[in-house]
Structure 1
Amino acid sequence: MIRIKSPSRLHLSLIDLNAEIDRVDGGLGITLDYPGMNLTAEKSDTINITGNSDLAERIKRSAGSVLPGGHGINIHIEDDILSHVGLGSGTQSALSAASAVNEVYKLGLSVRELAEKVGRGGTSGIGVASFEYGGFLVDSGHKFDKKGGFSPSAASKADPAPIVFRHDFPDWDIILALPDGQGAHDTKEVDIFKKECPIPLEEVQDISHVILMQIMPAILEEDIDTFGKGINHLQSTGFKKREIALQSEDIKNLIKFMNDVGTKGSGMSSFGPAIYGFSDSRIQSKKIQKDVQNMLDDTVGGRAIITRPNNTGAKISEV
């Protein structure tokens, strides 16, 4: 029997949804140690998924897309990631299931090959790379003439985007607010891409400048103040600005509230509603967590947690 423990991820922003220079998507993100997906797997004659998870059907489909003909697998889900809240549950569950089959049957497939088989990474490469490497990641998107349009990963058949920058995320606390409810997904997500794209080129240039000259150097220099300024800026431009505009006033207020109570930068992951902020003081982190939990209790409900970066990716072991 094997065990797979995969991370979740924050998707901080897409970079280029203009495509004037024949490249589209691109993104940056941070791998999280928790929440995560934890499952065990062993050979079987059929495909059996057990454990209380709304990701069970996705896991079954993903396992089936990798299984050799005439074989099966037993997968037990011990812990999972909330669906459609901005933490990458779709990619992590699909890759966990595919990796389980890969390990149990010793198929020798790479993470990228598994991602292609289960159809993940067609817009953002961050989730696939989080599973494989962990850390802070920037991907370079896809050639527009090959992808053929603006669409989310779930509706794209493009290969996973190549990673152009990967570095261990500094030893900072990540305060994560998980409001009750779900963000846009499935057909609604597709419709948003169709309506909002292409994004004006000057906004894409603004995002690229901030990422290259502010956020990436701040990671290398472990400068949380500069990093936080860059994160705050991303919320007000490009596709991220449009994702936030779709949220309720409570969610919009929560982003601002995190900064007001002491985080060094705050933002929304993917289509939300997960909101994050950063701190380099454990005492301050606990105070922020308490304040954010009180706000959630008074508004939309949900929970606030302190998590940490994952700089290694998924863990696979025998049990």
Structure 2
Amino acid sequence: MIVRVSVPSRVHLTLIDLGPTGYRRNGGVGFSITTPRSTLSFVHNTAVDLRALELCGYLPAEIASLTKRLECLMSQQQLTQGLRLKDVQLPARHGGFGTGTAAALASLESLFLLNGLSVSPEFLRANCGRGGASGIGLSSYFKGGFVFDAGRRFDSAPIVGSDAINQVDELPLEMARLDMLDWPMGVLVPPCASATSPEQEQAFFSHQLPLSAADVFETTYHAIFGTLAAVQSRDYDAFCASINALQRCAWKRAEIDLYGETVRACAAYLASVGCDAVAMSSIGPALIFWASDFDAAFAAAVRQYGPSAVLRTRPDNTGRIISYD
């Protein structure tokens, strides 16, 4: 039997509470898009074999860590079948699409399916090792849509990115999940921007954080009273205004600045050809854009950056698709 898992990419608009004190830590807003997708197929095997992830830019240590997690679950749950990752296609690694969470959840879920078992989303979320910084990908994997999570309870440990956390003791608290409206949307992967490495990301977190209370409050306002409320009320103009405002907030502004002028110049160009809003997903460099006259804006972006860098996409309100051969 072959288990095939097709996972929509997640767009992460921003982390929210990155201050030195408070009620919660992290939290965020984001949503799923139909394209690009992570597609993985698994077959029975005597052991856990995820070596095919090397073809998608996974480091040996990352593969070893995920392999060990699945092996431990095999032992704990007394599973008799391992699995082998037969085929895999992922969007650009560390590009802002949530591939790490998608691959971890797909591998874990497929392990149980190949053993004839179906486990709950709650079990999978708790045992996949993801969600240390954001819960958007943990929620959107199963049901897509727009997600607002309130992070976890505050603690005084240094704030780090998801890839620096191997054990998640408290999952992010999902507060809202809404269907996204089918507003015309595209993706631009800036051709000259290299994705940040895990080491660069952790150095960035260490240097930039914690944020001031004023910066946290500003981000919270635009994320909740702007983006979340606009999705719920189906207000395209307010949605676009809040997206642009989030790009100017301290945390997202610092993430964009990681790329010098490269990403900022791409965002400015998209605005100049009629885009109503442009957002960098997570720590980038992928940009998501919206436009009322979408065909004209999309054509201009293709002329400027080439067809391989720009693609049309839509919101995904379904989540992963599982099929069997």
TM-score (normalizing by structure 2): 0.88
TM superposition shift of 1:102:
2.0
Instruction: Give me the identity figure in percent.
Output: 27
Equivalent residue, structure 1, for 2:283: 271
TM superposition shift of 1:116:
3.6
Equivalent residue, structure 1, for 2:313: 307
Q: CA 1:60–1:4 in structure 2 vs 1: closer, same or farther (change >3 Å)?
A: farther
Aligned amino acid, residue 198 of structure 1: P
Contact in 1 for aligned 2:56/2:93 (Cα 8 Å): no
Aligned pairs, number: 312
Equivalent residue, structure 2, for 1:162: 173
Q: What is the CA–CA distance in structure 2 between the aligned matches of 1:261 and 1:291, rounded to whole Å?
A: 7
Equivalent residue, structure 2, for 1:317: 323
Could you tell which deviates more after superposition, 60-69 or 176-185?
60-69
Among 214, 217, 225, the residue aligned to 1:205: 217
Matched, 1:17 2:18: yes
TM-score (normalizing by structure 1): 0.90
Aligned residue for 1:179, secondary structure, equals coil
Equivalent residue, structure 1, for 2:70: 66
Q: What is the CA–CA distance in structure 1 between the aligned matches of 2:234 and 2:18, rounded to whole Å?
A: 29
Aligned residue for 1:119, secondary structure, equals coil
Unaligned stretches of 5+ residues in structure 1: none
Q: CA 1:302–1:199 in structure 2 vs 1: closer, same or farther (change >3 Å)?
A: farther
Could you tell which deviates more after superposition, 154-163 or 239-248?
154-163
Q: What is the CA–CA distance in structure 1 between the aligned matches of 2:171 and 2:195, rounded to whole Å?
A: 23
Could you tell which deviates more after superposition, 178-187 or 94-103?
178-187
Contact in 2 for aligned 1:63/1:101 (Cα 8 Å): no
Contact in 2 for aligned 1:112/1:128 (Cα 8 Å): no
Q: CA RMSD in A?
A: 2.2
Matched, 1:256 2:268: yes
Contact in 1 for aligned 2:48/2:70 (Cα 8 Å): no
- Residues 49-100 of structure 1 show CA distances to partners (whole Å, capped at 9, x for unaligned) of 4484334965675355224246421222242221011111111111111111
Q: What is the CA–CA distance in structure 1 between the aligned matches of 2:209 and 2:310, rounded to whole Å?
A: 33
TM superposition shift of 1:121:
0.6
Q: What is the CA–CA distance in structure 2 between the aligned matches of 1:294 and 1:248, rounded to whole Å?
A: 23
Q: What is the CA–CA distance in structure 2 between the aligned matches of 1:236 and 1:302, rounded to whole Å?
A: 28
Q: What is the CA–CA distance in structure 2 between the aligned matches of 1:166 and 1:196, rounded to whole Å?
A: 30
Aligned amino acid, residue 189 of structure 2: L
TM superposition shift of 1:149:
2.3
Equivalent residue, structure 1, for 2:92: 82
Contact in 1 for aligned 2:133/2:161 (Cα 8 Å): yes
TM superposition shift of 1:107:
4.2
TM superposition shift of 1:239:
1.1
Contact in 1 for aligned 2:190/2:262 (Cα 8 Å): no
Among 121, 139, 148, the residue aligned to 2:157: 148
TM superposition shift of 1:178:
1.0
Q: What is the CA–CA distance in structure 1 between the aligned matches of 2:223 and 2:269, rounded to whole Å?
A: 24
TM superposition shift of 1:12:
0.4
Unaligned stretches of 5+ residues in structure 2: none
Aligned amino acid, residue 312 of structure 1: T
TM superposition shift of 1:231:
0.3
- Residues 86-125 of structure 1 show CA distances to partners (whole Å, capped at 9, x for unaligned) of 1111111111111111211134433343344331110000
Q: What is the CA–CA distance in structure 1 between the aligned matches of 2:216 and 2:195, rounded to whole Å?
A: 23
Contact in 2 for aligned 1:123/1:160 (Cα 8 Å): no
Q: What is the CA–CA distance in structure 2 between the aligned matches of 1:37 and 1:63, rounded to whole Å?
A: 19
Q: CA 1:13–1:209 in structure 2 vs 1: closer, same or farther (change >3 Å)?
A: same
Matched, 1:92 2:102: yes
Aligned residue for 1:160, secondary structure, equals coil
